[in-house]
Amino acid sequence: MHLPKYALVDAFDALSDCSSADERWRCAIDVARALGVDAINTGCADIESASILWARSSMTPEWLETYMKLEFFKVDPLLELFHKKQSRLTVYCDLASIEQGIDGGHPALSRGLNDAGYALLHGTKFLTRDEPFGSVVTLCFGAMKREKFDETISRWTTLSALIAAFSYAPDEANHLDVFTNVTPVLTRREVEVLSLLATGLQTARIAERLNIAEITVAKHFRSARRKLGSRTREQALIKAMQFRLLSF
């Protein structure tokens, strides 16, 4: 597929104009579809605890129901990207690749994807520097030949990076296309920092109380906020209280 010259620039502008996580998600779907991608998946994981914080998919509801019912998430190679050194993986779901054993995924999963109308899935992992987080963006194509995809893979990797840059935890976790952990896993230090923040202490006082540097306090808070899927201090504290994670 030939991408218009300024397609990705226009996509960046469109995503930049969005004001909420859900609006960015809908915009990302529209951008991807305009460029020939049938569906997208995004997700964030805590690499250290090997737990997925949240995931979101625009694949068909019928397929997502089948995926969860048959527990394909236990054998999904694209989810395994979170725990591997490799940063990209392509799963070919066309019958020829499946029959030749070169689909790159799990045979039963690949056949299920083919039955659902998908011919190729391409996942790219992005790590957050100096933080134990990673995100994976998967582009799902209904009709894409292996050779054609290989020729244009750099374009799709760029699109994935753009989507990843604007992917935030969903505003609400009760959407049908959202999958989240019931309770986030926080470290002892993250709980301590959040608990002291909840009492009204500022970063300097928390650092003094815990005998650590202010920059370390900020790092623990950033990590906890990401795990809680919050963009502000207030949201993080509210969610931590809801999950009964604070200690006083």
215-244 pLDDT tens trace: 999 999 998 888 887 778 888 888 788 778
For 182-219, the pLDDT digits (tens) are: 567 788 999 999 999 999 999 999 999 999 999 999 99
Between CA 91 and CA 190 the distance in angstroms is: 37
- Over its C-alpha atoms, the chain yields an Rg (Å, rounded) of 20
Q: In this structure, how many other beta carbons lie within 10 angstroms of the beta carbon of residue 12? A: 15
Q: Is the dihedral of CA 14, 16, 18, 22 positive or negative?
A: positive
User: Are the C-beta atoms of residues 163 and 57 closer than 8 Å to each other?
Assistant: no
For 27-53, the pLDDT digits (tens) are: 999 999 998 999 999 988 877 666 777
Which comes out higher in pLDDT, residue 132 or 186? 186
User: Are the C-beta atoms of residues 113 and 93 closer than 8 Å to each other?
Assistant: yes
**pTM of the predicted model over 0.95:** no
For 140-170, the pLDDT digits (tens) are: 999 888 888 988 888 898 899 999 988 877 7
191-219: burial string, b at 16+ Cβ within 10 Å, e else: bbbbbbbbeebebeebbeeeebeeeebeb
